[in-house]
Structure 1
Amino acid sequence: MKIILLNLLLCCFVNSVISYYCYWNTGCPYKYLSSETPYNLVRGDIRDSVVKLEGCEPVSVWGIYRHGKTYPDLTTGRAMKEAVSLRKYIFSSYEKGHSSLCAQDVENLRNWEFDGKMFENKEDITDEGRKEMLFLGKRLREAFPDILNDVQTSTSTFRSANGKWFENSLKEFVKGLGLKNVAIDKPKTGYDDIAPSATSEKSTKNNVVLDVEMSKYLNTSDYLVVKDRIQRRTGIDYVLTDDNVTALYNLCRYTWSGIDGKASPWCALFTKDDLQVLEYEEDLRHFYSNGYGSPVSALLGGVPLADLFGNFEKVKLGEGKKFVSYVTYTDTLEQIYTALGLFKDNSPLTGTQRDPERKWRTSVMSVYSGNFLAVLHRCKSESQEDDYSVVFYMNEEPIRSLCGDGVCSWQELKSKTN
């Protein structure tokens, strides 16, 4: 959250001194793109963030990870491919003087290379997604060398949800950890405790309240102004639909490289205000699917948390696993945060009005390769008996709002997972 606030302040400063908006040299492009945000744009660095507890040593790391950056699904990809054809209308409008896009923004969009495989429903992670998971594993290797030097198949668990994009994400992650003598478990084909909403009858899908709130938001002046602004900015001579706007937004999101630090030229079609409005649309969707707007989210999020607590209980008894890693859906991460009471606003998100100060931000919580880690520490008490504390991390930064500075005593953890 600190990173977001800092970047927003910088962006405000830049925009205050540039009278004519040009995306290519804004110096501070808005990069919070909901659940399609590239990991490198918002992550911390676990090597710098590891909490050192005096008189304690880390003895077990439990982590759950969203898969790396993926190709769009078939429906999304088709819509994006169709939206690519709008380029010729954008260029034509610019040449006629009907567009307010900068010359360089148009040139960058003209030079953008069409990558057909992006739209082929590959159901896999991209090259960037592979690098995200590989480099994440390497940083964890440096952060917890004592634990990982002693990890074997018998002292570890590595498992993903069922799907090529999950399985390949986990393979890259293990490769980054530098582990050769460990086994990767096969995904479960039935009910899966690391993907309960995808394999449970108590699904959060088909949420009637979600449909109502989304319909409200798409008819607010907030959203309608965005459609009008894109229309005027591009100068194209037919009325954009909601589907057009979504497809163009997805082109902006999916073609932004966090690893290479290259913003997408498609994002030039939007102002910062536009992107904030569209980000809220996505936040609203996730809030009622996996967050506090769904009556079963906390229940579903408690399922993987029970695994966390159960493993740490065994470690305390001299059993359990030293390193546990699961790769799963966006839904599961958001449901875990809901079960823990994190990112909860005083009032529910609604489609009537956007709250720019909201805590529920998918651009922070559930980005590509987003992760939630718990590290169990064994400590010596004044009586020289073993005591235990747990430190929590999200995207390689301590979660300071959970217990005191993110450090939970064993009793505090027990109360949160019961």
Structure 2
Amino acid sequence: MGFKLYIIIVAVLIIFHDAGSESISDDIRNHLGSKTPYRFKYLKDDSKIKFPGCESTKMWMIIRHGSRLPSDEDIAGMNTTLKELSQQILSGHKVGKGQLTEEQLSRFANWSSSIDITKEKDLVDEGRDEMTQLAKRMYKRFPSIIKSKYNSDTFEFRATPTERAEESAKSFAIGLFDKNAPTVIIRKTSKGDPVLRFYKHCDNWQKQVKKNPNTYAEQKKLGNSLLMNQTLEKITQKLGLDNTIDLAEADLMYKACAFETAWWKDYVAPWCFAFDKDTIKVLEYYHDLKHYLMDGYGNELTSQTACEAVKNMFEHLTSKSGPNASFLFAHSGTMLKILTHMGLYKPESPLTGDFIPHESVWRLSEIDCFAANLAFVLFECKDGDHILTLHQERVVKLPACEKELCPLEHLKRVFHDTIHNCDHAAICKYNSSNDEL
């Protein structure tokens, strides 16, 4: 069932972006965190990637699902809290409050949200398109690996047992095989699959990290800071509201801005007008900090949980048999933990709630947007096998390597423990003595 059949946002039916209308600036759209649409981030150059004396032969690619609907909690907030606030914004304007333009106010006047809560987190049409177009570009870059004809011996498709991951896999298959896509076998994994969702039923990580209040101490510090209070007051004044909004309301606005920007290419989401180039960065960092602490470098255990996924990558690329290309469809939590295990995007100093760094390599808007992807490609060269890494379709140099095209034997030495000593069951076995005091 198509996205537009079960979600009604009245504004999109009557307001479209045109050359003379209000638009969302780069100051806003480049700071939408993990809900950032992929069309703002991917590499437009899809020419064949090649190196002299080398041939690409195998690929392992982990892909976050495409743009989706919000969680049930956020849907409820958009359908109620934001509806009420939008009416207060319009009422305040009538008595001269707020800093919004007439056109911005007209967008609020025509905005409504009636998302079917039973469709929470389902993939939307834009998410399908993100997957289809990504597949087409990857085919052009690596035609020697990604053949145009499907064969279950040549291609492996795996997805977590969620609608958004499975539908992403199907849409990716359409990009590769067009009318033959329905013949593609997509293997559904278990909820706690050690490769695709290794953290979901990892008791040790769940209790020591995700459900441990101490994990979020720095984020809580930011949430209670003078900077956050000033941010909330500034948003309140811009919207012309009588009472200062709280962090939960500001967060709902931030998510609505991001989701609605992601869903439609030509729609200007009115909630984006709540922010300016400074306040949007505070909300962005609030989420960056959370996932740095929970899914990134905040706890060493987090990186360890990803060892089975990275081990699977090495096994796939070094095997003389099996499929040429392995496409795995998963989630934000999967992507961030694998990036961390590979040592990518590690800040020079730990992120804290005391201040927002001017420049940070750990930004969800850049590294974990919708449809984020990480590919490892095996090149057989005259001087031995090498691995090329691509993130968001861009070639990146792994911290463990001197060059972008990295010798396989070197990587195998660096990740020796991952390849030979990864014991997911042992890592995830909870021991109360491990609890932080």
- In the superposition, the TM-score normalised over structure 2's length comes to 0.83
Give the one of 392, 398, 415 matched to 2:395: 398
Q: How far apart are 1:132 and its partner, in Å? A: 0.9
Q: How far apart are 1:137 and its partner, in Å? A: 1.2
Does the CA-based 8 Å contact 1:136-1:173 persist in structure 2? yes
> Match for 2:28: what amino acid?
Y
Q: How far apart are 1:153 and its partner, in Å? A: 0.5
The answer as to 2:340 corresponding to 1:335 is no
Q: How far apart are 1:119 and its partner, in Å? A: 4.5
Aligned to 1:266: 271
Q: Which runs of 5+ in 1 are unaligned?
A: 1-22, 382-386
The answer as to 2:43 corresponding to 1:38 is no
Does the CA-based 8 Å contact 2:90-2:108 persist in structure 1? no
The answer as to 2:386 corresponding to 1:389 is yes
Q: How far apart are 1:225 and its partner, in Å? A: 1.2
Q: 1:26 to 1:284 in 2, by over 3 A?
A: closer
Q: How far apart are 1:212 and its partner, in Å? A: 1.5
Aligned to 1:319: 321
Alignment of 1:47-86 (within 5 A): 47-48=46-47, 51-82=49-80, 83-86=82-85
Q: How far apart are 1:336 and its partner, in Å? A: 0.9
CA-to-aligned-CA distance 1:72-96 (integer Å, 9 cap, x gap):
1111111122212211110111121
Q: 1:217 to 1:265 in 2, by over 3 A?
A: same
Aligned to 2:165: 166
CA-to-aligned-CA distance 1:378-401 (integer Å, 9 cap, x gap):
1123xxxxx211110001111135
Alignment of 1:4-19 (within 5 A): none
Give the one of 277, 280, 284 matched to 1:275: 280
Does the CA-based 8 Å contact 2:194-2:308 persist in structure 1? no
- Counterpart-to-counterpart distance in 1, 2:404 and 2:87: 51
CA-to-aligned-CA distance 1:132-161 (integer Å, 9 cap, x gap):
111111211222223222652112210011
Q: 1:241 to 1:189 in 2, by over 3 A?
A: closer
- Counterpart-to-counterpart distance in 2, 1:233 and 1:108: 15
Q: 1:36 to 1:416 in 2, by over 3 A?
A: farther
- Counterpart-to-counterpart distance in 2, 1:348 and 1:78: 35
Alignment of 1:13-412 (within 5 A): 24=22, 27-31=25-29, 32-45=31-44, 47-48=46-47, 51-82=49-80, 83-112=82-111, 114-117=112-115, 119-149=117-147, 152-178=151-177, 180=181, 182-203=184-205, 204-257=209-262, 260-314=265-319, 318-381=320-383, 387-402=384-399, 403-412=401-410
- Counterpart-to-counterpart distance in 1, 2:233 and 2:25: 25
- Counterpart-to-counterpart distance in 1, 2:264 and 2:388: 28
SS at match of 2:278: helix
Q: 1:413 to 1:263 in 2, by over 3 A?
A: farther
Q: 1:101 to 1:205 in 2, by over 3 A?
A: same
Q: How far apart are 1:338 and its partner, in Å? A: 0.8
Does the CA-based 8 Å contact 2:42-2:393 persist in structure 1? yes
Does the CA-based 8 Å contact 1:40-1:258 persist in structure 2? no
Q: How far apart are 1:205 and its partner, in Å? A: 1.2
- Counterpart-to-counterpart distance in 2, 1:87 and 1:277: 22
Q: How far apart are 1:131 and its partner, in Å? A: 1.1
Q: How far apart are 1:354 and its partner, in Å? A: 1.4
Q: 1:72 to 1:258 in 2, by over 3 A?
A: closer
- Counterpart-to-counterpart distance in 2, 1:115 and 1:93: 21
Q: 1:257 to 1:26 in 2, by over 3 A?
A: closer
SS at match of 2:186: coil
RMSD: 2.0
Q: How far apart are 1:28 and its partner, in Å? A: 3.5
Does the CA-based 8 Å contact 1:46-1:396 persist in structure 2? no
- Counterpart-to-counterpart distance in 1, 2:379 and 2:138: 16
Q: How far apart are 1:27 and its partner, in Å? A: 4.9
Q: 1:25 to 1:166 in 2, by over 3 A?
A: closer
Q: 1:28 to 1:163 in 2, by over 3 A?
A: closer
Q: 1:190 to 1:331 in 2, by over 3 A?
A: closer
Q: Which runs of 5+ in 2 are unaligned?
A: 1-20, 417-437
Q: 1:188 to 1:27 in 2, by over 3 A?
A: closer
Q: How far apart are 1:415 and its partner, in Å? A: 2.8
- Number of residue pairs the alignment of both structures matches: 386
Aligned to 1:384: none
Q: Kindly, what percent of the aligned residue pairs are identical?
A: 26
- In the superposition, the TM-score normalised over structure 1's length comes to 0.87
CA-to-aligned-CA distance 1:217-245 (integer Å, 9 cap, x gap):
01222211110001111111123122111
- Counterpart-to-counterpart distance in 1, 2:316 and 2:174: 24
SS at match of 2:272: helix
CA-to-aligned-CA distance 1:165-185 (integer Å, 9 cap, x gap):
111111111111116454211
> Match for 2:163: what amino acid?
K
Q: How far apart are 1:288 and its partner, in Å? A: 0.8
- Counterpart-to-counterpart distance in 2, 1:72 and 1:120: 11
> Match for 2:271: what amino acid?
W
- Counterpart-to-counterpart distance in 2, 1:110 and 1:289: 38
- Counterpart-to-counterpart distance in 1, 2:263 and 2:115: 19
Q: How far apart are 1:129 and its partner, in Å? A: 1.0
- Counterpart-to-counterpart distance in 2, 1:174 and 1:260: 23
